[in-house]
Amino acid sequence: MAEQELEIGQVVPDFTLPASSGASVTLSEFRGKKVVIYFYPKDQTPGCTQEACDFRDRTEYFAQHGAVLLGISGDDIKSHNRFAGKYELPFPLLSDEDHSVSRMFGVWQIKKMYGREFEGIARSTFLLDEEGRLVREWRKVKVKNHAEEVLEAVRQHETERK
């Protein structure tokens, strides 16, 4: 079950995960930028592919508003590399194989499909401000129009800070 959920306004604890880029990525490296972290269930599945491509197609707009994108799932780096390569994803996919970061965000949950229960990532997205503080969250995400909604929140956050 979800062990803990971060609260709006809370600074997200630092973490380091291996990335599809071949390096490790540490959250605090992005201080001074807004960070969009989206958790997705599995590489190469239809919904996750659509979501990744929707974020990919808006990467430039996120960058224009000082935001970076990070995708996280429990898949290993090999799987992430295939997925990122096949769909030309310009942002890192982070591998959370032990689910520690997913648990920290409260997205590692009991799910039901076809009458059976299993643990997995509940599709969710989080927006962190330049200080690493959680400012918005989307839980139980529906893929359609989600990337655009997140981009709008990034724009809105930028406007509120001016």
At 145 the pLDDT is 92
Domain span including residue 30: 16-161
Decide if 2 is inside a domain. no
- Catalytic residue, chosen from 12, 48, 70, 104, is 48
Q: How many angstroms separate the CA atoms of 101 and 80, rounded?
A: 17
Decide if 11 is inside a domain. no
Q: How many angstroms separate the CA atoms of 15 and 138, rounded?
A: 20
At 4 the pLDDT is 56
Tally of domains within the chain: 1
At 2 the pLDDT is 41
Decide if 157 is inside a domain. yes
Q: What is the pTM of this model?
A: 0.92
Decide if 80 is inside a domain. yes
Beta-strand pair 124-128/34-39: antiparallel
Decide if 107 is inside a domain. yes
Q: Could you tell me the mean pLDDT of each successive run of 10 residues in the chain, 162 residues long?
A: 71 95 92 96 93 96 96 96 96 96 92 82 95 94 92 87 64
Q: How many angstroms separate the CA atoms of 131 and 150, rounded?
A: 18
Task: Mark whether 48 is an active-site residue.
Answer: yes
What CATH number is associated with residue 65? 3.40.30.10
Decide if 142 is inside a domain. yes
* 74, 80, 86, 92 alpha-carbon torsion, rounded to 10°: 110
